[in-house]
């Protein structure tokens, strides 16, 4: 199943920006929650890290065009930055890298698959991007091997559950409300693609 047109239209860009602004606010709120969850130890905070990738997943599921995942992640991280992110300009850099890695997964499937498997792979891609940034920034390389394994497992599992499975569920719910009809009429094929 393909998209109706490959290029982004103004409505696509504006819809992506609206999605990103909503998630920029969520990201801003998620930061303090992430810090609270850290106190439980065992990298429990990494289980919720996947929320920072969901803008790219949801925008792609709803708009279904090349470039949307990257645009959404950059716009969401920009929104978080503008609202006073506790991590400063770093969130924008992370947003670019995470969005790029998510976009590469969608491109690998030629922007024709919109199912849980592909969206979960994009969450894995965004996770890889975040880990590259973490290693570059020097956040995690000192972890003991067993601790690193726990850290990685928690981040990957959280990303797949939040930015993969949950993003698809959210897209299905939005499709059922009819709100997506404004920019992309849903067909039976669209619903079937989400159920694969």
pLDDT interval class at 1 (50, 70, 90): very low
Q: What percent of the chain stands above pLDDT 70?
A: 90
Q: What would the pLDDT profile of 38-96 be if each residue is shown by its tens digit?
A: 888 878 999 999 998 999 999 999 989 999 999 999 988 888 888 887 788 899 999 99
pLDDT interval class at 102 (50, 70, 90): very high
Specify the 3-state DSSP secondary structure of 21. helix
- Give the residue with greater pLDDT, 168 vs 33: 168
State the SS3 of 29-98: HHHHHHHHHHCCCCCHHHHHHHHHHHHHHHHHHHHCCCCHHHHHHHHHHHHHHHCCCCCCCHHHHHHHHH
8 A C-beta contact, residue 195 and residue 175: no
**Looking at residue 186, what is its pLDDT?**
57
Entry pTM: 0.84
**Looking at residue 183, what is its pLDDT?**
62
- Give the residue with greater pLDDT, 138 vs 120: 120
Does residue 190 have a pLDDT over 90?
no
Question: Which long-range CB contacts under 8 A does 172-178 form with residues at least 24 apart?
Answer: 174/62
């Amino acid at each position: 199943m393909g998209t109706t047109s490959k290029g982004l239209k103004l409505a696509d860009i504006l819809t992506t920006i609206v999605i990103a602004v909503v998630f920029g606010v969520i990201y801003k709120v998620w930061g303090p929650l992430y810090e609270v969850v850290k106190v439980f130890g065992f990298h429990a905070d990494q289980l919720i890290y996947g929320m920072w990738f969901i803008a790219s997943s949801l925008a792609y599921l709803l708009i279904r065009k090349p470039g949307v995942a990257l645009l959404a992640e950059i716009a969401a991280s920009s929104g978080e930055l503008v609202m006073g992110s506790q991590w400063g300009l770093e969130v924008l850099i992370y947003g670019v890298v995470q969005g790029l890695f998510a976009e590469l997964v969608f491109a690998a499937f030629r922007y024709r698959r919109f199912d849980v498997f592909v969206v979960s792979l994009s969450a894995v891609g965004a996770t890889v991007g975040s880990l590259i940034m973490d290693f570059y920034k020097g956040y995690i390389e000192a972890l003991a091997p067993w601790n690193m394994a726990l850290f990685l497992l928690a981040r990957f599992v959280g990303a797949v559950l939040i930015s993969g499975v949950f993003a698809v569920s959210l897209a299905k719910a939005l499709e059922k409300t009819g709100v997506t009809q404004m920019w992309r009429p849903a067909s039976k094929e669209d619903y079937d693609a989400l159920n694969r």
